[in-house]
Amino acid sequence: MTAVRPRRVRSQKPIDDLLLSEHQLEEMYSYMLLARRINERSLALNRQGRAPFVIAGVGQEAAQVGAAMSLRKGVDYLAPYYRDLGMNLVLGMSAREAMLNLLGKRDDPNSYGRQMPSHWGNSSRHIVTQSSVVTTQFLHAAGIALGAKMRKDPVVVMTCCGEGSTSKGDFHEALNFAAIHKLPVVFYVENNGYAISERTEKEMPLEHVADRARGYGIQSAVVDGMDAIAVYQNVRPAVDQARRGGGPFLIEAKCYRLWPHSSDDDDSRYRPKKELEEWARKDPLKLFRERVENDGIFPRADLDEIEEKTEAEIREATQWALMQPDPAPEDALGFVYKEA
């Protein structure tokens, strides 16, 4: 048992060249850890037969949390894709809500049991409802940005996808339109190496998705998506530039899907074990802990304390969510149209 000791108040002042304060670094670790633990608990519930389907972002937590922390809550918009649990947590989703979503419960604020898990959406948090069709959200993001620009609102829109999605026409159409109209959009590609079983080389003949941006006249950058601090350091300036009217930006975060595509996928059919082991050594949570410990930003005990707090939060959220009401069968009806 760890001894209870008073928590030090974290400074809000940016640390040297990190752009991030102690307070933000603690948040960053907490969100990444929460995302990881929710995904782990989700898979456990799936294997117990309590959750029919899980699609996770394990290995992408740094890419997601580092990027989403660059947004202004309640001002900016996020049009995420299904792995972006980490981003949703940053913008305000609680562990309880994540569990309601996993279980398709009546009160899941994303879709009230109407969509598969991890199909996000929450108007009050400016998270745009998404479907399973990949990359349609890129055009929605550009459309939101068009509206914001017409209204002269200082809004930035971030939209995300995996590298596999960049083969779809809507990806290219959105980049084209956003570039023509210099819209405030950050196109964020989480390149996790796989589109289900297809490796990147089956999706495109280029090494970097970011290279595609040049053809549309869009600035782009490649960032180490396993390093949350590096992600923030690259995404934040792109968000700021878009807000100042500098036009769209494409960022490719190189990360890795440490899990199979979904709870129904067997990745041993297509993924070399050795490759997985190599990437596991670069686990974003492990890297973050090592860095902040080695730099002496947080003592190990503080990080352990975050771990314990997160564990307790998930345990409580899971038990609570399992007790929540399911939708009634006839809840399938209604809300086909918005009443005037």
Partner 1 sequence: MAQASVIEAIRSTLDEELAADERMFILGEDVEAGGVFRATDGLAAKYPGRIIDSPLAESSIIGLSIGAAHYGMRPVAEIQFADFIHSGFDQLCSEASRWCYRTKGDAYLPMVVRTPWGGGVHGGQHHSQSIEAYYTHMPGLKVIAPAFPADYRSLLKAAIADPNPVLFLEHKRTYRMVRQELEGAPAESVIGRARVTRRGGDLAIFAYGLMLHESLAAAESLAGEGIECTVVDLLTLLPLDRETILEAAKATGKVLIVHEDTLTGGLGGEIAALIAEHAFEYLDAPIRRVAAPDIPAMPYHHAMESFFMPDAAKIAAAARELAAY
Residues forming the site for partner 1 (CB under 8 A) = 77, 79, 109-112, 114-115, 119, 121-123, 128-129, 131, 133, 136, 138-148, 150-151, 169-170, 173-174, 176-177, 180, 334-340
Among 208, 270, 271, 291, the one annotated catalytic: 270
Kindly state the smallest distance separating residue 69's Cβ from partner 1, in Å: 23
| Contacts with 314 (C-beta within 8 Å, 6 or more apart), sequence order | 34, 37, 38, 41, 95
**For partner 1, which is the closer residue by CB, 172 or 282?**
172
Among 37, 96, 257, 289, the one annotated catalytic: 257
**For partner 1, which is the closer residue by CB, 29 or 171?**
171
Both tokens of 336, joined, read 């086909």
Kindly state the smallest distance separating residue 239's Cβ from partner 1, in Å: 18
Kindly state the smallest distance separating residue 317's Cβ from partner 1, in Å: 21
Q: Please tell me what DSSP assigns to residue 11.
A: P
Q: What angle do CA 165, 170, 176 make, to 5 degrees?
A: 115
Kindly state the smallest distance separating residue 326's Cβ from partner 1, in Å: 15
For tokens 């074990």, the residue is: 273
**For partner 1, which is the closer residue by CB, 58 or 189?**
189
Do the Cβ atoms of 35 and 85 come closer than 8 Å? Answer: yes
Q: Please tell me what DSSP assigns to residue 7.
A: P
Q: Which helix (H) or strand (E) holds 48?
A: none
**d(C-alpha 108, C-alpha 261), whole Å:** 23
| Contacts with 97 (C-beta within 8 Å, 6 or more apart), sequence order | 108, 109, 110
**d(C-alpha 196, C-alpha 199), whole Å:** 8
Nearest to 53 by CA among 135, 130, 113: 113
Q: Kindly provide the b/e burial profile for residues 282-298, where b requires at least 16 CB atoms within 10 angstroms of the residue's own CB.
A: bbbbebbbeebeeeebb
Q: Is 261 a catalytic residue?
A: yes
**For partner 1, which is the closer residue by CB, 55 or 228?**
55
**For partner 1, which is the closer residue by CB, 69 or 157?**
157
Kindly state the smallest distance separating residue 138's Cβ from partner 1, in Å: 8
Cite the active site residues: 257, 261, 270
